[in-house]
Structure 1
């Protein structure tokens, strides 16, 4: 298949979705032209200019770095349609109006290049219906590509072919979406709302219905339908507020208008209370009030009986919490079905109708059950999709219960379950693939070449991926290999924190890698990379008065970082999620780091009254000296580092980690987290192939010395006088400055790494013994939040 080359993309429509799609393309360094209507007043590109400017104000930010916005060019339909000729992909993302979209297609069709792909980002309109207005020559290059909002963060992208879309076009676009933009692609059939919103919105409708039937409060339902079910903290009703109640009502109306034959059609309507909120302008988070409202520091929730807001105190009953925490899904569902508790009745009914709806419509909306489960997981943030949940709970038994409820008139619809549900199966997912109603068999995952880059794809229930051959394993770490000459090390501790066992494991892994492998990759099978040092263990040693043991632990930490840096085979850190404190320091010492886009990197020890002492400040001093060059201004190079470390800054992306100097400019950034291991291994192998040698020990590091320390202290004194920092913040920051500047030596003095490591240890141990630092550590362990004392 010829490779699809996408150098330049046009996005039509600078609304919320269009602008954020353009931002994510820019994140990936794809040159992007963002179009909209010409402004009626002022500059013709006014609408697009405003949308681009707004990207920098949104939270969470659609831009991985504010500098990325430079890749977006503003354009309007009256003046700039000729720019489409240079675009390899055109994504239409205007409002969900079939007539408006068709009018736009009429306007652009003569400007689309003969090779270009045209895709609609519609969330549910018919792709074949949209294709009707296009010339025949464009049909093979037209499809739907539905990004979920916000496009930077949501993994799901639905790909919807029209009747004549060329298979090569789809596969080329799929490859671009997966690797360049980091998406999880699911193919959907051309039915209203496709897969994600069809099942996801029905789940919301079922929740609305059963909330009323069981007479539960909105806050009570959110307490039940969030993390207790493996779903996001925003649960159901808070999510609706975030999305916007007007948007939710619009989606419900779309289902009502486009699915008149659906057996559940009678439930496709906004309840009266929702209409009333919309009429009052209480649209959710964007208007400050919706189902929930913040009054001062108190969160209040709408009470339908009182027709007013009350404190949001609803909670899951302890009886239900005990049921939901049962690790046996079959027992859990049996208990939910048997219980007379209103919350249990609610949950069973909600699951029952979701399973019923998903099974009934599977054949019409998707090729396999895997597509449905992945769409819901990636698009709605659920830990398990509906079919996975059903299968885990015992397929046959749950199917019988659903059928009994349908006959008894308890289900939302009397439509029968499909025959395949009762064909003797134990589920829809297995090692060989996932069930396809159209084929009547289980189909494996796509064999498209891009998926060879995913050593461990996101699995559905029942799938098995070989975990590699174990080289050695302890309670703290596991080292394994695929026989390709590269070893992989992962931590087994909670949040992949750095314990004594992890330190010993890293040192042993480097030893073994030097003797039998060409390189070593430090990679975790799940986020985070590492949340830093084991604070509980450290505090325990201090409180027990074991100062020698504590000092030895710090020295071992530093020795481990140095072992990574000076390994005779390249050590590559594969980072995704949090890389804080010691986790950040390990990647700073690696021969190379490979970052997933969503990497949140920082030296955050100041937040618990400490300073980085795993070699992080030493590395900063080395990098500053190298950047300044002989006779250069080392202090100027240290300033951005000092601010980042003293304030405990954490990057909001891998690109921002580079701006904070905690990642190197040459470190690759991978957009698809499931490709991270592949790229890290390739980097390790490339370094080995090039005759890798570790850096020579730095024995003549120019430091900022006493003048640098004095300058930093003057800055800190201004901050303390302005009450921006506390006395203890001052103490911590002063010591950070002292280590970074090389201690009380002359400006420009030359020191070695061991000198800087000794300073780290001394000041770290001194801070650790201070009562206010121990208070901060204890508070962080108890609450997960920093204490400013």
Structure 2
């Protein structure tokens, strides 16, 4: 089939998942119409309207920009089924009832287009059974599509085929979900609860069982099973609250109804935990009802006490000895936990042993290979490593022997031995299930390579698994220069890539020197420069810690010189004769934000958080951030009929003065840190590909640096207007006296200082005002309190 063009999507079901899937489609610019039953009272689209209004209130926010809720089309099954004919993809996301879903399919079948793909978002119902309600001509285009909650943030989407699903349609859908929706796709077998929920929920049930065995409290367990264990920071029970205890109960029931002791030797562990039954009976469904295993009262987080059926004080932490154990290398860690005398250590070994045991027993029936299981647990449950990766890192045969000894001793959840392939043959010879040739498939007895689809050619360094020995960005390509601060390299001898290496990619003297060297190299021999690093951090800002010795020895004058060099570097990048592309992923704060806005163009992953945050440490942006705000205001008024600059300055001033950070690339665009000409990339692993091609495209189009122009500023009258608002905020107790002082300095810079309104200035003039404000604050005791507080605790000090 030709390339899958998705012009419009229909989402059927305006519940929690359906509405959020629709929201994410809007985030990535896919037109969508959301369907539900006609309301019994009021407007027929009332159910959908209410669901869309609710999207605006949810946290974490399903929409990149809350106003985009208006872009979701509204429809009901009684009046609007004709709209389905115009949709290239239909995602059914109604309640997890087989009979309801089958009934809906019968109703919509006459309205499905000839080439439309139909997919059911279910967490575990049989996709093959669901397909039986569809006409023969639609069955080849039907499959399962399992999003994880919340759909915007969770990377995993499972695709599940039926015996009648045509591979070309599944390939097309995988390409769309990967590149357009930005997800990690795993193809799962049509087995109960597929891969992630099968392994993940079984793991949570096993954890709950071991919690009862060892008598541990939920807060201690969450502390043990969160980041310390390399899993989601929410741990076990907080994760259950977020997922929803009713959802978890349904997934457990699916396991109970579709499996048996004959089909799953762990079946006896699938009984609904007593505490979960209790909470469900109480209507305490987790985050959605503001009470589950935990309940927040004011600032205090209480935990549920199963004995009293009430909430008691929480916040207990695990013993520090186990935190130290969990930092040890994997092999040493496993041995220490297995031999631990305390309950918490024994509990940790038990849940790890159970996860290895369960994954090995069920690999053949749920997944095509071990890589898919590990990806599912990473992307769907927030684990740093999947069970097979951790097992392999700890020493495959050594761990296997320990697990089997526990099984033989009756300590495991079931008596089923580990499969023979664990101990003999290619896996044992290779030291694990992941190899450079691929990952183990016990059904075929081979190592299966990564699936090759055109969409994956856009990922230079896709996520990989331990043992695959995939190319690493840190050593890939040809190195042009490298020191402890930065690596300059190229993949294709056409574009220079600059990767910052400092902690949190802080910008100090070494980084600036490296960037200037990269820009000079690019101008001399290449088509452009891309600033990119292979992790969740573009740059957290200027390296304040490295400035302190200079400040202590030379005072504000020494810092003024360093800031001047930083500003010159920003202008050098802005006026480079080859395009400079900032490829942003994760945090771009303070100096990182300034580096981005002084680039020729920005290519940002959807989950990019960009802002000028210097106020948090009692400073003002000092590397050109305020100059950028003033220049952009002048450029914006030039294309309007307005005469007063202040309204055009307001948003930029407010963002800097309140240290606002865009909560997505879309929100960062709204704040002015990304422009309409900048590119938002849904999939983080496509960022480098898009940035390199953008540099080449701009170069091929004859890119030239912008002219250096003078621009008008708001002057004294603008400063007076802004300060008038600040006085009201200070006198009303909304900001402190020091906040007022800092915001006043920001106003003076963005308005151009003590000049008449409309005065033409240069960037260098405004940057000098920035430096003056920055260095004056460095000597202020209140700012010094904020800096030291941030450096010692990592949290802002309000004084």
Judge same fold: TM > 0.5, yes or no. yes
- Please tell me whether the aligned partners of residues 539 and 774 of structure 1 are also in contact (alpha carbons under 8 angstroms): no
Q: Would the alpha carbon gap of residues 139 and 648 (structure 1) be closer, same or farther in structure 2, given more than 3 Å must change?
A: same
Look up the match of 1:760: 770
Q: Kindly state the Cα deviation for residue 281 of structure 1 after the two structures are TM-superposed.
A: 2.8
Q: Kindly state the Cα deviation for residue 270 of structure 1 after the two structures are TM-superposed.
A: 1.8
Q: Kindly state the Cα deviation for residue 708 of structure 1 after the two structures are TM-superposed.
A: 0.6
Is 1:717 the counterpart of 2:748? The answer is: no
After superposition, where does 1:585-664 map in structure 2 within 5 Å? 585-629=594-638, 632-664=643-675
Q: Kindly state the Cα deviation for residue 544 of structure 1 after the two structures are TM-superposed.
A: 4.9
Partner of 2:304: helix, strand, or coil? strand
Is 1:686 the counterpart of 2:697? The answer is: yes
Q: Kindly state the Cα deviation for residue 542 of structure 1 after the two structures are TM-superposed.
A: 3.2
Once residues 521 and 56 of structure 1 are traced to their aligned partners in structure 2, the CA distance between those partners, rounded to angstroms, is 35
Look up the match of 2:296: 294
Deviations 1:646-680 (A, max 9, x none): 11111111111111111111101000010000000
Deviations 1:17-71 (A, max 9, x none): 0011111111111111111000000111110111111111111111111232233
Which segment is superposed worse, 437-446 or 701-710? 437-446
Once residues 58 and 192 of structure 2 are traced to their aligned partners in structure 1, the CA distance between those partners, rounded to angstroms, is 30
Once residues 7 and 67 of structure 1 are traced to their aligned partners in structure 2, the CA distance between those partners, rounded to angstroms, is 21
Look up the match of 2:395: 394
Q: Kindly state the Cα deviation for residue 73 of structure 1 after the two structures are TM-superposed.
A: 1.1
Is 1:416 the counterpart of 2:426? The answer is: no
Is 1:45 the counterpart of 2:55? The answer is: no
Is 1:333 the counterpart of 2:334? The answer is: yes
After superposition, where does 1:238-253 map in structure 2 within 5 Å? 238-253=238-253
Look up the match of 1:427: 432
Deviations 1:563-616 (A, max 9, x none): 211112111000011111100001101010001111111111112111111111
Partner of 2:14: helix, strand, or coil? coil
Deviations 1:743-766 (A, max 9, x none): 110100111111111101001100
- Please tell me whether the aligned partners of residues 205 and 268 of structure 1 are also in contact (alpha carbons under 8 angstroms): yes
- Please tell me whether the aligned partners of residues 124 and 251 of structure 2 are also in contact (alpha carbons under 8 angstroms): no
Look up the match of 1:263: 265
- Please tell me whether the aligned partners of residues 539 and 777 of structure 1 are also in contact (alpha carbons under 8 angstroms): no
Look up the match of 1:785: 795
Q: Kindly state the Cα deviation for residue 549 of structure 1 after the two structures are TM-superposed.
A: 2.5
Gapped runs of 5+ residues in structure 2? none
Once residues 436 and 564 of structure 2 are traced to their aligned partners in structure 1, the CA distance between those partners, rounded to angstroms, is 47
Once residues 279 and 635 of structure 2 are traced to their aligned partners in structure 1, the CA distance between those partners, rounded to angstroms, is 61
- Please tell me whether the aligned partners of residues 29 and 68 of structure 1 are also in contact (alpha carbons under 8 angstroms): no
Look up the match of 2:482: 473
Which segment is superposed worse, 416-425 or 146-155? 416-425
Once residues 313 and 632 of structure 1 are traced to their aligned partners in structure 2, the CA distance between those partners, rounded to angstroms, is 56
Is 1:451 the counterpart of 2:456? The answer is: yes
Q: TM-score, normalised by structure 1?
A: 0.98
Once residues 649 and 216 of structure 2 are traced to their aligned partners in structure 1, the CA distance between those partners, rounded to angstroms, is 57
Q: TM-score, normalised by structure 2?
A: 0.97
Look up the match of 1:273: 275
Partner of 1:586: helix, strand, or coil? helix
- Please tell me whether the aligned partners of residues 252 and 270 of structure 2 are also in contact (alpha carbons under 8 angstroms): yes
- Please tell me whether the aligned partners of residues 125 and 254 of structure 2 are also in contact (alpha carbons under 8 angstroms): no
Gapped runs of 5+ residues in structure 1? none
Partner of 2:659: helix, strand, or coil? coil
Which segment is superposed worse, 310-319 or 352-361? 310-319
Which segment is superposed worse, 59-68 or 222-231? 59-68
Which segment is superposed worse, 510-519 or 374-383? 510-519
Once residues 306 and 101 of structure 2 are traced to their aligned partners in structure 1, the CA distance between those partners, rounded to angstroms, is 40
**How many residues were matched structurally?**
787
Partner of 2:415: helix, strand, or coil? coil
Is 1:374 the counterpart of 2:375? The answer is: yes
Once residues 10 and 307 of structure 2 are traced to their aligned partners in structure 1, the CA distance between those partners, rounded to angstroms, is 50
Partner of 1:350: helix, strand, or coil? helix
Q: Kindly state the Cα deviation for residue 280 of structure 1 after the two structures are TM-superposed.
A: 2.4
Look up the match of 2:582: 573
Look up the match of 1:22: 22
Is 1:704 the counterpart of 2:709? The answer is: no
- Please tell me whether the aligned partners of residues 646 and 736 of structure 1 are also in contact (alpha carbons under 8 angstroms): yes
- Please tell me whether the aligned partners of residues 590 and 621 of structure 2 are also in contact (alpha carbons under 8 angstroms): yes
Is 1:546 the counterpart of 2:545? The answer is: no
Q: Kindly state the Cα deviation for residue 306 of structure 1 after the two structures are TM-superposed.
A: 6.0
- Please tell me whether the aligned partners of residues 8 and 88 of structure 2 are also in contact (alpha carbons under 8 angstroms): yes
After superposition, where does 1:341-352 map in structure 2 within 5 Å? 341-352=342-353
After superposition, where does 1:727-766 map in structure 2 within 5 Å? 727-766=737-776
Q: CA RMSD in A?
A: 1.4
Q: Kindly state the Cα deviation for residue 259 of structure 1 after the two structures are TM-superposed.
A: 1.3
